[in-house]
Structure 1
């Protein structure tokens, strides 16, 4: 289920940039995100699933480096940007 949700997130974010997202059945909890021959994320190597914003940045950095991801860009969970911190008074 998580793989299908992740695929949909990538297709929704990169509507015109990705030609295809393929889900390949596996066993043993395999979860990898590849772009061509390059592995962008491996659950085995990284020790879990990626945060959606992080995965989107990884994909964006390879297929459309100049593109903004809006609110997903440059923020890690729990961080507040300088302008947001200043507006809190």
Structure 2
């Protein structure tokens, strides 16, 4: 949520998360394959779990990027009102 106190140049890190998720996905797939070939089931399972986490993160990042400026606010998007919960002024 934007409160208006961020710097004007602040940007959402979704594109960085996209790149890091892809990088993690590739390394986890590589690790799963190598450890499975070396008959190390524990390490292969650990890399498989990392692969699943990176894949879920990748799906969420792509979903948020496709949702547009609400998730990637630019300079033309005004700050959102902060959520004050159930308290009313």
TM-score band w.r.t. shorter chain: under 0.3
Q: Choose between structure 1 and 2: higher helix proportion.
A: 2
TM-score normalised by L of structure 1 = 0.21
Higher CA-based Rg: 2
Q: Which has the higher contact order (CA 8 A, sep 6+)?
A: 2
TM-score normalised by L of structure 2 = 0.21
